[in-house]
Amino acid sequence: MHVTVFLRARRIAVSFLAAYTALCAPAFADEPKFGGTLHIASLEADLDAFDPLTGYSIESWEILRATTRQLVTYPGSPIGLKEDTTLVPDLAKSWDVSPDGKTYTFHLKDDIFFSGSTERKIVAGDFVYGIKRFCDPNKQVAAINYFNLVLSGFVEYCKDFSKVPTGDLAASKAFIDSHEISGVSAPDDKTLVIHSDTKNYDFLNILSMNFVSPVAPEIASKYFPDSLESRKNLPSSGPYYVASYDQGQKLVLKKAKNFKPESDEARKAYVDEIDVDFTANSEDAVVQKIQTGEADLSLYLDAPPRGTIQQYVSKNSPYLHATNSGSANFITINAQKNVTSEGIEALRKPEVRQALSYAVNRAHLVQSQGGSIAAVPLSQIITSTISGYEQFDPYPTAGNKGDPAKAKELLAKAGYPNGITLDALYRTNAQNETIAVTLKEDLAAAGITLNLIPAPASGWRAYIQDPKSRWDVFLNGSFSPDWQGPSTRMLLGGWLNSDAAPCGTGNVYAICYSNPELNKLAAEAYPSDNATPLWTKADKIVSTDLPWIPLFEKRKIAITSDRVTHWTWSSLAVQADITNIAVKN
């Protein structure tokens, strides 16, 4: 793994850092013990995805951490997310790299098994099948842009697969069985070979993602990807398997009998069972369950309510956990092709995007999130825990409080002396509503009127990618690094690189950004032994162009019950590592 220098986040109040040090110390006093049940209260009524093919939220990755394993992974850290950056072998015991850096040959461990609907040994062909599922037209892998660029023959394979009719499981299986990806092969049950046409400095990091998990073809081929039946029956390659799944009610994961702890360097699997309760329905209900001991931690609670955070800080509670995360919130712009409105046409002008950036009161937004413990103002695309970060603000304002006069001046220059009105979509939960209301209030002072349009949590992704949907801006855009450190490809080489993420179905947030200068720098960065300066340069170019409007960088905050004795962060999940948390029995 390449050595990465992590640049520090913006300065946080010294008083908070002292308090945070005091908060963390008691949480690690108890020696971890095996056994017991970890109870999780979910804010949402169900998982947004529960298949390594489709899961791409931090919540789905938190649960998939327990039910999937990869070739390589991260072991978790009790200190913070950016400390969890050292790759360790997972299902692979070792690997060889060709002199040109383009071919990796992985040698699998011996005692690795599926659990659940099948308990056979995991073989190299299960990885091949899992990757061959990526292009299934019934359900495409959630981060296909990575694999378009790093797997030889993948684009051609996907192009052919796209011709297979949807809704026909037999047709999908027949295609997978009769077609190969030239860059992925299993010479025998213990050997997996992955080849790329180019050298990629972050190749092992990409393979650490949950997408690259072994999948049993004899089971997965029976069900549509991530369908209800698939969720109940997809075999687990991790230390826990699905014991029961009552959609909208409860998910129960139990430790697999054939899980070999000595084969897993990353997951201790302290608890015997993990129960996820989907009936909480509100932030207050989730917090109450944790505070009364009915639950040990939360799912889909992006951050506890502001009052709850202040309560825990004031008491120096050891059950409040906080870390820099590299995650960010931003306003996305509807840049889909052939989609137009007065607002969209206005936002295609650089001066209007600049006016929008000047109009945002980032200090007000940070305060609305709970202050510096919860967030810091952000004015650029790259965040503080990923490579290439150098603090940069192309449109600075005093105290990050915005500059309405400057925003009005730019709007007038662009031909809108009387201001503009934008249809602004937002997600309907308490935190995102707070962001929407705060933005509406602050932008009005600059002559930008937001017509707020609520989008339900269960349907906003489909809505935002439908060209017929009405919206100019989405107020709750967000990302979390797919891994800490060298994960800049996700943003500058992925979401914003039109060579990797062309406009169309599946484009994240319908961003549809295209900048040839960025694409050129990204192409130089992938094979580089030192990509950091290239990403820094690209960040300055793109942050100035404003493909989206950065708002704030989030610190990850979690509260737990007093039963939790061994708190651990997972850099992939960007929150709790449920396979390394222990509870009092």
| Per-residue pLDDT reduced to its tens digit, 335-365 | 998 899 999 999 999 999 999 999 999 999 9
Q: In this structure, what token pair is assigned to residue 196?
A: 């790329």
pLDDT at 383: 96
**Residue 173 pLDDT > 80, yes or no?**
yes
Rounded CA gap, 243 and 241, in Å?
A: 6
> Beta-carbon neighbour count of residue 100 at 10 Å?
10
| Per-residue pLDDT reduced to its tens digit, 361-373 | 999 999 999 888 8
CB 534, CB 524: distance < 8 Å: yes
CB 567, CB 556: distance < 8 Å: no
Kindly report the CA angle at 375 between 80 and 490, in degrees rounded to 5?
Answer: 65
CB 226, CB 54: distance < 8 Å: yes
Confidence of residue 578 (pLDDT cuts 50, 70, 90): very high
Task: Give the number of residues written for the chain.
Answer: 585
Residue 406 vs residue 495, higher pLDDT? 406
User: Quick one: CA torsion of 107, 110, 114, 119, rounded to 10 degrees?
Assistant: 140
284 φψ region: left (φ > 0), alpha (ψ -120 to 50), beta (else): alpha
Rounded CA gap, 142 and 520, in Å?
A: 24
State the pTM of this model. Answer: 0.85
Rounded CA gap, 531 and 525, in Å?
A: 5
Strand partners, 251: 245, 276
Rounded CA gap, 446 and 541, in Å?
A: 25
Q: In which element (H, E) is residue 575 found?
A: strand 575-576
| Per-residue pLDDT reduced to its tens digit, 271-285 | 999 999 999 989 999
Domains in the chain, start-ordered, CATH in brackets? 37-284+563-583 (3.40.190.10), 323-556 (3.10.105.10)
> Beta-carbon neighbour count of residue 8 at 10 Å?
12
CB 465, CB 505: distance < 8 Å: yes
pLDDT at 30: 55
Helix/strand/coil (H/E/C) assignment for every residue in 110-142: CCCECECCCCCECCHHHHHHHHHHHHCCCCCCC
Rounded CA gap, 398 and 535, in Å?
A: 27
Average predicted confidence (pLDDT) for the chain: 92
pLDDT at 13: 34
Rounded CA gap, 321 and 143, in Å?
A: 29
Rounded CA gap, 90 and 197, in Å?
A: 25
